[in-house]
Structure 1
Amino acid sequence: MSIFVIGYYTLLLAASCLAAYFNKRTWFLLVFSLTLVSFILGIVGGASMLRGVAIAAGMLALSAMVAYAFREFLIAIASNDMAKELRTAPLTAAFGMFVIFTYAIAGIFAPWIAPFGEAEVISTAFAAPDGDMLLGADQLGRDMFSRIIYGARNTVALALAGTVMAFLLGALAGLLAATTGGWFDQVLGRTSDVIMSIPSLIFALLMLSIFGGALANSTTSFWLMFGFAMVTGLLVVVAKAENNVLSWLVGLAILVGVSAAFSLGMLTIFNPSEVILILVVGVIYSPRVFRLTRAVAGNVVVMDYIEAAKLRGEGKWYLIRREILPNSTAPLIAEFGLEFCFVFLLVAGLSFLGLGIQPPTADWGSMVRENATLISFGDITPLIPAAAIALLTVAVNFVVDWMLHRSSGLKD
């Protein structure tokens, strides 16, 4: 029996006894369960299995320490009200916030963090890691580490833009449907049912096959984005103008100008194929947001203070902006996080299939597909972008779970 095995079991048993002596029941159950599991795994796999368990336990402990330190940092810089909320955040939520913060820093400062450009060829195909290339080279000789850093900017930014589009359209439609009711509510509800009846991946493949290829140019992308912005803005005009003809004319004139400027701005930030992908994602996931928003707003619109506001003569826009939306914020914010996860995985999946973000732009989904050959040779480098996708998804879910727990009103 090696010194490592003796020291490993001694450490676990000592920690279990200390936890029991100080009446730390949760820690005792956790550490002693780990001792029993390690005993079984040690018999089956020997010392190598115990080393794997020790490494995994060490990584979990390190993650917990990072989460605790980051939570205390946020508490120190936050306002009193926010600090009070952050003190209730579990370590999982703090770890999720730390991961999101790390990804944001990597995406924003990618040109300064990455040692090479995302499309810069610096070596031979599948070159091994060295002093210049931390993770080696891909199938074209580009630095994998640099492309993963740039992927944080491209993949996350595109998924975030698609989620915002879906949320703007779906939330505005849901709030207006709940406030208006009648045939307007029925039309929007049945339209969302039709879109939701089509599987998201199949719908995305269909739309991208129609608007991709030769149609993925600046003109097509501009008019598609312009149409999406007009439909979304028209919901605001309907709520704000109501039956006032002059307000309708002024609102439509402003809407045309804002939609055109917004479409040009999106084409400045993203290329035409990415704009089409954002629009496809926005159309696919907006019905989900509509259904949730309609359900939440439907519970609020029947309250007495809404009836009192109607009796005062308040319009739909006032009811949505001042009465319904403030009382629906918590579940909508949590839903935004969940929708981001779905959109993020869809974008990565489409890129893996070759229909998402197009080369030479760095994207985690396409990086897994392009370098999958290395797995046959025992190289786990292609799994790193896959792990980056999984880590961000799990981190966002950790934060969303905490927010859902807070909004539900449950007490620990």
Structure 2
Amino acid sequence: MNYFVIVYYALLIGASCLAAYYGKRAAFMLLFSLTLLSFVMGIIGGEAALWTVTIVAGLLALAAGTAYAFREFLINIVGPQTAKLLRTAPLTAAFGMFVIFTYAVMGIFAPIIAPHGEAEVISSSFAPADATMLLGADQLGRDLFSRLVYGARNTVGLALLATLLAFLMGAFAGLMAATKGGWIDQAMGRMADVIMSIPSLIFALLLLSIFGTNVFVLVIIVAVIYSPRVFRLTRAVAGNVVVMDYVEAARLRGEGDWYLIRREILPNSTAPLIAEFGLEFCFVFLLIAGLSFLGLGIQPPTADWGSMVRENATLISFGEITPLIPAAAIALLTVSVNFVVDWMLWQSAGLKE
């Protein structure tokens, strides 16, 4: 047993004892659980396993510290009401906001951040990383880091545009169906059922094969595929609101459908719609990345994270993790958006601990 193992266990046990002595139950449970986990992993994997636990714990601590600092930064630059709201945000939501902010900066300032153009060939195929290429080169000799940065603009921007369009179409149709009722409600509901009955990936592949793979067609097809999901939720939520007494009172006053939607129904349906927007973005984002991986999404030479995974998949056979970097970027944004959406839903619904 070397000094690292002795110091490792001594620090964990000492920190656990201090947390127990000062009555910090949550900290004690976390530290002592980590001690027991390390003990089991140390027996199975030896010192290498303990180093793995140390690195993972360090990364989690770094993420928690970054989230806390970013939350405090936001609290100090916003108004009093927003600051009061942000103080209730958990570290997971703060971390999600930090990741979204980072991706937004990457997308907006991509030409400034990226050292090379997204389609610029600067080296040989699969050249290793060096001072000019942080992540090496792809199969054509283009800088992977630059393409990763430009991919934040292309992939995320296109997914956001498609989500907004799908949300506007589905939410408007759902609100109109709930307000009008009758044959309009039935017709819209059956159309949504037909579209939702077809698997989204197969439907997208079929339509893209027919209409082509340009960006405009891709946005429209993705929006059409996912708008029925928004329609079903909006129709269900608005259907519960439209029968309320205050809506009936507004009808008796002679208010029109647009007034009812804008002033009575929509303000009382925001909480689930906020959550649905975040979920829709994640679904659309993953679908576009999947289509690009299959070659029917964003077309070369435009940088896209899905196509980057496909183009560099050969490196996995040689033990390189480079193709996993754009995949990790996709997963990180998806998780971060869900963190923020969960907190916003918790706030909008007025839930209490």
TM-score by length of 1: 0.85
Counterpart-to-counterpart distance in 2, 1:327 and 1:78: 26
Counterpart-to-counterpart distance in 1, 2:270 and 2:320: 46
Q: What is the CA deviation profile of residues 185-214 of structure 1, one whole-angstrom value per residue up to 9, with x for unaligned ones?
A: 0000111001000000010001001001xx
Asked if 1:403 is matched to 2:347, the reply is no
Q: What is the CA deviation profile of residues 253-285 of structure 1, one whole-angstrom value per residue up to 9, with x for unaligned ones?
A: xxxxxxxxxxxxxxxxxxxx0111100100000
Asked if 1:380 is matched to 2:321, the reply is yes
Counterpart-to-counterpart distance in 1, 2:30 and 2:175: 46
Asked if 1:317 is matched to 2:258, the reply is yes
1:358 equivalent in structure 2: 299
Counterpart-to-counterpart distance in 1, 2:108 and 2:155: 12
Counterpart-to-counterpart distance in 2, 1:26 and 1:346: 39
**1:18-57 mapped onto 2 (5 Å cutoff):** 18-57=18-57
Q: What is the CA deviation profile of residues 391-412 of structure 1, one whole-angstrom value per residue up to 9, with x for unaligned ones?
A: 0000001111112222333211
Q: Which amino acid aligns with 2:129?
A: P
Asked if 1:304 is matched to 2:245, the reply is yes
Counterpart-to-counterpart distance in 2, 1:362 and 1:279: 20
Counterpart-to-counterpart distance in 2, 1:87 and 1:306: 35
2:17 equivalent in structure 1: 17
Q: What is the CA deviation profile of residues 288-341 of structure 1, one whole-angstrom value per residue up to 9, with x for unaligned ones?
A: 000011111111111111111111111011111111111112221111011000
1:158 equivalent in structure 2: 158
Asked if 1:344 is matched to 2:285, the reply is yes
Residues 270 and 348, structure 2, Cα contact 8 Å, conserved in 1: no
Counterpart-to-counterpart distance in 1, 2:348 and 2:237: 12
**1:71-90 mapped onto 2 (5 Å cutoff):** 71-90=71-90
TM-score by length of 2: 0.99
1:95 equivalent in structure 2: 95
Asked if 1:292 is matched to 2:233, the reply is yes
The number of aligned residues is 353
Counterpart-to-counterpart distance in 2, 1:26 and 1:360: 50
**1:114-263 mapped onto 2 (5 Å cutoff):** 114-212=114-212
Q: Runs of 5+ in structure 1 lacking a partner?
A: 217-272
SS of the aligned residue for 1:360 comes to: coil
1:331 equivalent in structure 2: 272
Larger relative CO (CA 8 A, sep 6+): 1 or 2? 1
1:84 Cα deviation after fit: 1.6
Counterpart-to-counterpart distance in 1, 2:122 and 2:4: 42
Q: Structure 1 vs Structure 2: percent identity of aligned residues?
A: 77
Q: Runs of 5+ in structure 2 lacking a partner?
A: none
1:172 Cα deviation after fit: 0.3
Counterpart-to-counterpart distance in 1, 2:5 and 2:221: 55
Residues 114 and 150, structure 2, Cα contact 8 Å, conserved in 1: yes
Query: Please, which moves more after superposition, 79-88 or 372-381?
Result: 79-88
SS of the aligned residue for 1:127 comes to: coil
Aligned-residue CA RMSD (Å) = 0.8
SS of the aligned residue for 1:277 comes to: helix
Counterpart-to-counterpart distance in 2, 1:386 and 1:26: 33
